Amino acid sequence: MAKNLKYKIGVMGSAGRGKKLPENILDKAREVGREIAKNDCILVTGACMGTPHEAAIGAGEEKGVSVGISPSSNLKEHTEPPMNYPAPPQGMVHIYTGFGREGRNVITIRSCDGVIFIAGSSGTLNEFSIAYQLGKVIGILEGVGGISEKIPEIIKSIKKETGAVLVSSSDPQELVKRVIEEIEKR
């Protein structure tokens, strides 16, 4: 019998395009993916390399369900230049939008009940702004650097209340647990 999957939790963050991300960040991303799967939730990513890809690998290690929302129109466009994104890891379903990165970001974030941010740069900032505007549950993995560490500061400077809820932790297991608790309150 199939599992009764509860929620869709996105993982957004550093892609590391052109450079190798530190192992501790990749390890934590993989652990976040495992925790999402262990809690019978669906992992959603932007189908890119780096922390989202590692989270999908982690979910796969636990036989979890993961969905990658690709900015490309098909697998060939996804994996060849100029995109050069990785092929889907074992167990991940890709949805090819053809909408480019920014269009993909809107679909990805709208598809999630909650979103966890791990490090990141300008693309992650775009994903955060969409999540905040949509009033999502937002989880921040602390201690990994990147734009996600600045999100609490950014939220304090925003004057518009959207219903977004922010939780954070340096422990992937605790972070996923807190994100799920906040989703369940809704």
Q: How confident is the model at residue 4 (pLDDT cuts 50, 70, 90)?
A: confident
Contacts (Cβ under 8 Å, ≥6 apart) of 111: 8, 10, 44, 67, 69
- In angstroms, the first-to-last Cα distance of the chain is 28
Euclidean distance between CA atoms 138 and 165, whole angstroms = 6
Q: How many angstroms separate the CA atoms of 29 and 39, rounded? A: 16
Amino acid at 40: D
User: Which pLDDT score is estimated for 84?
Assistant: 87
Q: Residue 86: what pLDDT? A: 87
Show the domains of the chain with their CATH numbers.
8-185 (3.40.50.450)
pLDDT in tens, 56-93: 999 999 999 999 999 999 999 999 998 888 888 888 99
Furthest-apart CA pair in the chain: how many Å?
Answer: 48
Mean pLDDT over the full length of the chain: 93
Say if CB 28 and CB 62 are below 8 A apart: no
Q: What pTM was estimated for this model as a whole?
A: 0.95
